[in-house]
Structure 1
């Protein structure tokens, strides 16, 4: 839940920057770095659980979603930083809106409703 809230907060901040026609700045990168550290922490916990034998039914699907979650923040941060117009923060906002959806999907894969 912490990752989802941090991602939504980051998305709101970046959307405000987009609407103000401001380019992405270093504090945006710092925010993405913090979000990425949270995601990496979740990934480490998940990998330890999978290696320890506690696996979801669809392990391959879970691992693919986990890889996407880990790679999304840095990829979009680089893309957003390279885009020096107001659309740089928009790229980050989009990624930060997708991230909570991916996290919910990971939870669904780990704990399927029967």
Structure 2
């Protein structure tokens, strides 16, 4: 995991989330801004998956539980993808709010993934 990339992802996810919540709050249906913003969050998570696969081979292994990290990462990737599908099916203002909630949830999950990767010390049970 690359720390600056994770921080950039958190900032992007928070910005997308706040924009979608504001758009949903004023009654805007899902549009290019909200859907493509959420797609950007998902794309960055795909890049995080590639980084997470390569990083241990480059000497940057997680200090926390790798299973917990991967569960967070896969779940975080599913959130914006499923929110986008929801927004394409349900063309109401609430779909825009769901896109915002999903993006903010991804930001929180990314923060937790950063803690798992850098902070915790994992001792496997033998």
The equivalent of 2:71 in structure 1 is 64
Q: Residue 5 of structure 1 is aligned with which of 11, 14, 23? A: 11
Equivalent runs, 1:58-97 vs 2, <5 Å: 58-97=65-104
Matching residue within 21, 28, 32 for 2:27: 21
Please give the secondary structure, in 1, of the residue aligned with 2:30: coil
How far off its partner does 1:27 sit?
Answer: 2.9
Aligned Cα root-mean-square deviation (Å): 1.7
1:87-108: per-residue Cα shift (whole Å, max 9, x none)?
A: 0100001001101110011011
Using the alignment, how far apart are the partners of 1:56 and 1:73 within structure 2? Answer: 27
Q: Displaced runs of 4+ in structure 1, greater than 4 A?
A: none
- Report whether the alignment pairs 1:42 with 2:41: no
Structure 1-normalised TM-score? Answer: 0.87
Q: Distance in 1 between matches of 2:95 and 2:37?
A: 14
For 2:4, the equivalent position in structure 1 comes to: none
Structure 2: any 5+ residue segments left out of the alignment?
Answer: 1-6, 122-126
Q: How many residues align?
A: 113
What per-residue deviation string (whole Å, max 9, x for no partner) do you get for residues 12-41 of structure 1? 211121121111013322212222111111
Shift of residue 10, structure 1, vs aligned partner: 0.9
Give unmatched runs, 5+ long, in structure 1. Answer: none
Are 1:106 and 2:105 an aligned pair?
Answer: no
